A = this chain, B = another copy of it.
Amino acid sequence: MEKPTLPKGTRDFGPAVMAKRQFIFENIKKVFQKYGFQPLETPAMENLSTLTGKYGEEGDQLLFKILNSGDFLKDVDNTKLEARSSKQIAFDISEKGLRYDLTVPFARYVVMNRNEVSFPFKRYQIQPVWRADRPQKGRYREFYQCDADVVGTDSLICEAEIILMIKEVFKAIGITDYTIKINHRGILSGIAEHVKAENETSLFVAIDKLDKIGEEGVKNELRGKGFDEKSLTTLFHILNVKGSLTNKIAFLAATLDTTQHGMKGLRDLQEVSNILKSYGATDEHVEFDIALARGLSYYTGCIFEVKINNVSIGSVSGGGRYDNLTKAFGDKENLSGVGFSFGVDRIYDAMEELQLFPKDAQISSKVLVCHFDDESFHYGLGVLTKLRAAGIASEIYPDQSKLKKQLDFANKKSIPYTIVIGSEEVKSGELAIKNMEKGEQEKLTIDQIISKL
């Protein structure tokens, strides 16, 4: 029999990795809850009618589809079957798919529970998503998303609080060198209007690559799309503005003063900045990046992207405001929403690269009780009960084995303390507790041990 394997692009998370992942998840959760966000979980499977058409044609092809149960071929059209058209048959033999992101299920939830939800609704959701992408470094077929969204208000305090939450999470997990890039779709539209772009989308797509392909690259791409040199000069005159948020806003306000969307975007950014001040927060880490466009076309207001500096991985979080969340589900009344998502896998990789995980980010017993014989084993069980009653995670080596084997086990499992019990200890009640890292040992009673730990 062959050794079992994992499906491509999926991973097991063993104890050491889990401890580090939980460190990130717990800190994100704590911050979300402190800001009044409430948890939601949706099923892994959604009806394909819920999922398809929401992520573009490419997205539809990356959906994992679930084969219908039972005799799934029964009602399939003969002609389709003879034509062997996988694409056409797929939807006849499968009606469910795996969640592709957390936003569409959230929108589906809001539409289905319109009457029970109190708006503005602040929800967070931490669950895996699945994409039939080609696996490569840092890209998996199963990965977690951590989303927080507010729907039912267009107040810009939501945008300000997104910035505050990102800062607070990064502080808690020890990331200090990062940039929160912010821009506004209205400003991009204003620029498009100002440079007389005929095709907004081509402009945004090209601008979004500025980081990767540089000024000349973007210009070449836009030339190919029919932009003339005058427009390009005007465009880069704007994109190259340097300075603080306030400086950039002032410059753009003078340039885009005739564009309605542009001026709305600038007012919004200014208001976000004002709100941050009222919170007692600063613009530190926040950069108004006029070239930030974000691929997804459903954003309508502020957009965000967070980069950890000096690591190979780029963006670890992103989001923005959208005004049409529930429209795709036939909702008459449009709900304005704003949200963002932490990419935990990328944060994890960055933290490994920067060696930021605290040493004690491991989930393991604090004490291993070791023993020499049946008497000390049974005595050790009483010791264990006392340790656990004091809330100290602990375990006893379950088999009668040589002491060396028991201590090796503690080392392998990164258990920091061992208590070795022999007949002498059983008699005196004075137990030898050993700090496994320092190698130091002392004799203490169980009560002394508990207060020491």
Contact across chains for A47 and B398 when beta carbons are under 8 A apart: no
Contact of A354 with B by CB under 8 A:
no
Shortest Cβ distance from A85 into chain B, in angstroms? 8
Contacts A43-B11, A128-B44, A142-B45 hold; do A399 and B153 have CB atoms under 8 A apart? Answer: yes
With a cutoff of 8 Å between Cβ atoms, the chain B residues found around residue A87 in the complex are 71
Contact of A219 with B by CB under 8 A:
no
Contact across chains for B70 and A86 when beta carbons are under 8 A apart: yes
The size class of the interface chain A forms with chain B is 35 or more
Bound complex: CA A329 to CA B5 (Å): 10
User: Which of B43, B85, B158, B281 is within 8 Å of A385, CB to CB?
Assistant: B281
Contacts A69-B132, A74-B86 hold; do A34 and B391 have CB atoms under 8 A apart? Answer: yes
With a cutoff of 8 Å between Cβ atoms, the chain B residues found around residue A7 in the complex are 43, 45-47, 95-96
Contact across chains for B142 and A44 when beta carbons are under 8 A apart: yes
With a cutoff of 8 Å between Cβ atoms, the chain B residues found around residue A112 in the complex are 3-6, 12
25 contacting pairs across A/B (C-beta < 8 A): A2-B330, A3-B330, A4-B112, A5-B112, A6-B112, A7-B46, A10-B43, A13-B40, A14-B116, A18-B38, A18-B41, A38-B363, A38-B364, A44-B44, A44-B128, A45-B64, A45-B142, A65-B66, A66-B98, A69-B132, A73-B89, A118-B412, A122-B395, A280-B382, A280-B385
19 extra interface residue pairs, beta carbon distance < 8 Å, beyond A4-B112, A71-B86: A4-B50, A6-B43, A12-B113, A14-B117, A15-B40, A18-B39, A34-B388, A34-B394, A38-B413, A44-B44, A45-B142, A69-B132, A72-B90, A153-B398, A153-B399, A155-B398, A157-B396, A158-B398, A278-B379
Contact of A1 with B by CB under 8 A:
yes
With a cutoff of 8 Å between Cβ atoms, the chain B residues found around residue A98 in the complex are 44, 66
With a cutoff of 8 Å between Cβ atoms, the chain B residues found around residue A275 in the complex are 378, 381
**A372-400 near B? 1/0 per residue, CB < 8 Å:** 00000011011011001001111110110
Q: A residues within 8 Å of B by Cβ?
A: 1-7, 10-15, 18-19, 22, 33-36, 38-47, 49-50, 61, 64-67, 69-74, 76, 81, 84-87, 89-90, 93-96, 98, 108-109, 111-113, 116-118, 120, 122-123, 128, 130, 132, 141-142, 150, 153, 155, 157-158, 274-275, 278-281, 329-330, 363-365, 378-379, 381-382, 384-385, 388, 391-396, 398-399, 409, 412-413
Contact across chains for B67 and A41 when beta carbons are under 8 A apart: no
Which chain B residue lies CB-closest to A379? B278
Which chain B residue lies CB-closest to A14? B40
Shortest Cβ distance from A82 into chain B, in angstroms? 8
Bound complex: CA A372 to CA B395 (Å): 57
Bound complex: CA A35 to CA B398 (Å): 12
Which chain B residue lies CB-closest to A396? B157
Shortest Cβ distance from A413 into chain B, in angstroms? 6
Which chain B residue lies CB-closest to A326? B4
With a cutoff of 8 Å between Cβ atoms, the chain B residues found around residue A413 in the complex are 38, 118
Contact across chains for B36 and A13 when beta carbons are under 8 A apart: no
Contact across chains for B73 and A86 when beta carbons are under 8 A apart: yes
Bound complex: CA A130 to CA B363 (Å): 27
With a cutoff of 8 Å between Cβ atoms, the chain B residues found around residue A280 in the complex are 381-382, 385
Shortest Cβ distance from A196 into chain B, in angstroms? 37
Contact across chains for A142 and B329 when beta carbons are under 8 A apart: no
Contact across chains for A381 and B279 when beta carbons are under 8 A apart: yes
Shortest Cβ distance from A98 into chain B, in angstroms? 8
Contact across chains for B3 and A329 when beta carbons are under 8 A apart: yes
Bound complex: CA A50 to CA B10 (Å): 14
Contact across chains for B381 and A157 when beta carbons are under 8 A apart: yes
Bound complex: CA A308 to CA B220 (Å): 71
Contacts A86-B74, A281-B385 hold; do A12 and B396 have CB atoms under 8 A apart? Answer: no
User: Which of B43, B76, B278 is within 8 Å of A381, CB to CB?
Assistant: B278
With a cutoff of 8 Å between Cβ atoms, the chain B residues found around residue A71 in the complex are 86-87
Contacts A4-B50, A7-B96, A67-B94 hold; do A279 and B45 have CB atoms under 8 A apart? Answer: no
Contact across chains for A15 and B41 when beta carbons are under 8 A apart: no
Contacts A65-B66, A278-B382 hold; do A329 and B43 have CB atoms under 8 A apart? Answer: no
Contacts A39-B19, A41-B13, A275-B381 hold; do A93 and B73 have CB atoms under 8 A apart? Answer: no
